[in-house]
A = this chain, B = another copy of it.
């Protein structure tokens, strides 16, 4: 493993797909799509949030904890072998069983030699109708044990063979603080594996605005920090008895450090691949040098929940 920040261009890929209740089939499909991305030149490939299962958080139901598995475990074993075979870095988001009663919304980061580099554990946990994540997931720790020098406040980067990458998960994408800290750690790309969709009853009124807000918030992270952003989302309608289910809206994308789309998907299964140039990060950060002028002496109040009188 070559552990240096690279200045050589590298190629990333993200996988937008659906999931069924058949875990083995989900993994098999991901395997095919990862191979497709690799065949298109992708060197770092990221799957969607909780990739190998339906989005099970639609209702709180204790037997669904059975979907969790350890890291390392059967799914990461499969993906480590795949990474080694193809010589690619993989970001593998899945439901992690860390211990009895300690379940996480996590992403394993696997280097191109098949070694497990580490795990990011989702820091911001939502809880909304049909998204009962606070029931299922322990939030990532602000002070994870043994996180090492490439971590701060629970946020992390990994120096992979091809680039230094940060991983954040879904709801994290609404928090500029997460993007900022991960970028300051040296990330060249922020990956945002996601499972966002429409409540069918809301789609007519809010659907377009929700997709646009989702993309705008993340493109802004690219701009504010001068990094690439890559967000693979889930697609497909997933039913849930007693509810209207969720229609995951796709629209995965990759944005450059100036926030420009370099690859975009619609609402169908898709493999997006894009070349990333560390030279463009350097150019953008020189021409609009935001990092130079941060007022770190004045940001202390951001550590408050609310400041209003």
- List residues of A whose CB falls within 8 A of some B CB: 5, 123-128, 139-140, 142, 149-150, 152-155, 157, 171, 174-181, 184-186, 209, 212-213, 216-217, 219-221, 223-224, 258-260, 287-291, 293-309
> Residues of B contacting A287 with CB < 8 Å?
128
Q: Tell me which of B139, B219, B288, B308 contacts A295 (CB under 8 A).
A: B139
Q: Are B212 and A259 in contact, CB atoms less than 8 angstroms apart?
A: yes
> Residues of B contacting A178 with CB < 8 Å?
295
Q: Tell me which of B171, B212, B304 contacts A184 (CB under 8 A).
A: B304
Docked Cα-Cα span, A290 to B177, in Å, equals 12
- Taking the full assembly, how many copies of this chain does it contain? 2
A183 to chain B minimum Cβ distance, whole angstroms, is: 9
For A123, the closest partner residue in chain B by CB is B295
> Contacts A177-B294, A177-B299, A259-B212: A307 and B154 contacting too (C-beta < 8 A)?
no
Q: Are B299 and A303 in contact, CB atoms less than 8 angstroms apart?
A: yes
Q: Are A306 and B224 in contact, CB atoms less than 8 angstroms apart?
A: no
For A180, the closest partner residue in chain B by CB is B302
> Residues of B contacting A126 with CB < 8 Å?
289, 293
For A199, the closest partner residue in chain B by CB is B287
Docked Cα-Cα span, A21 to B171, in Å, equals 49
